[in-house]
Structure 1
Amino acid sequence: MMRGALAVSSDLTLRRLTLSDLAAVDELNLLAVGPRIDPNVVKPESHAYFESIFAGRGFFVGVFDGPLLVAYAILQHDHAAKDDPRESLGLPPGAPVGRLAGARVAPAYRGRHLQRALIAARVAAAPPDMLLFSTAAPVNTPSWCNLLAEGFPIRDIQFFFGGYARYLMVRDGSSYDPAASIVVDPLDTERQKVLFAEGWRGYARGQLETGAPGVIFGKPALG
């Protein structure tokens, strides 16, 4: 687990949050997402959900500028039955599995790679026997790009949180051959579902012929 405060940059520090930080989490959540949230892009989160994480469903990691909370992220290990990922991941009931859940960065601190730092911090803080996964909307390019860069390839497109399309991204340590890959439009759900069924995985960001972001697909290397 994390010990004390870890340096993020020369002026920012990172540490585990406690219940005393709950009001700051609520405030940052509203600041980061605004008064209206599109659930097709970002999962809405509530004060009650935050309380449940502090009560034992997981933990928060926060980035501070002095006393000010400027970014946070959640690792959740207790999952609601309707969103339990174990069957989708081929895991038995009760297997340790953690979801990299909601993350927020204050607008003034965006562009400083804090999302990636928070992904890495949660990976480092998770128990070694816990399988880690996350979800990201195909339309939310920054989210899935950061997860890909931190070793979470895309395994499937599923519907979570009341029926919204999300990439299922699982940290499994797989490697891929760039010479045997293709670039796919993240909005082309039908083609991606076919590739997933054939054993392909999305493992890096690419670029479509139009110049728009694409997902590089390959098959995990054997051995």
Structure 2
Amino acid sequence: MDQSIIDILNQPKSIKENLKFLNDKVEGKIVFSSSFSMEDQLITDAIFSQNLNNIEVFTLDTGRFFQETYSVWSKTLLKYKYPIKPYYPNTESIEKFVLEKGINPFYESIELRKQCCHIRKVEPLQRALKDATVWITGLRAEHSATRNNLNIIEWDEHYQLYKYNPILHWNTQEVEDYVKQNKVPYNLLYDQGFVSIGCAPCTRAIQKGEDFRAGRWWWEDASKKECGLHSS
């Protein structure tokens, strides 16, 4: 990617302006990964509401989503009338894993939890990112200490592409305000104390004062709470 494009994307313009610029100026495959989080719904709105057809929106359906997540997926399709490409776990891999380890082995050890995440998320992501030039994400620095050192746009050596984090420095209130003002469909679990929503067996609501990621893999040490999607 040309340095002049990187410099422009690093400027404090609106989310819609920067995504339109990316859509119009960058050659190659541009993809956006959505988990249907409030952050991702915001970015989806900025893409679909501007008819940015050069950006492919996809999701990694692990097969263990909350019903509320499938509901917001459906509402998003109805509102914008644009496709969201699903990627699923490899059938043989997940069948073998469940047969040998059981249906909920992730509670037993971090190793088994990471194996489950790899099969259900990481391997499908590798397929989704194949031949991509830019990967857009909904990561925010406020999410966790490990994300404080990220840049808005940076080279991802692991996946050999540019990772673009357009709302990296947004705070929670700014995200919520955008969603409300633009009438963006959002996961109703947010209204029940869920703030970081993943697979149903591995996610719970958090209490006031708890860390943003406290509801994810709550039985594990806080320093190990990543699934591998954003690990280089």
- TM-score, normalised to structure 1, is 0.27
More helix by share: 2
- TM-score, normalised to structure 2, is 0.26
Query: Which structure is higher in RCO with an 8 Å CA cutoff and minimum separation 6?
Result: 2
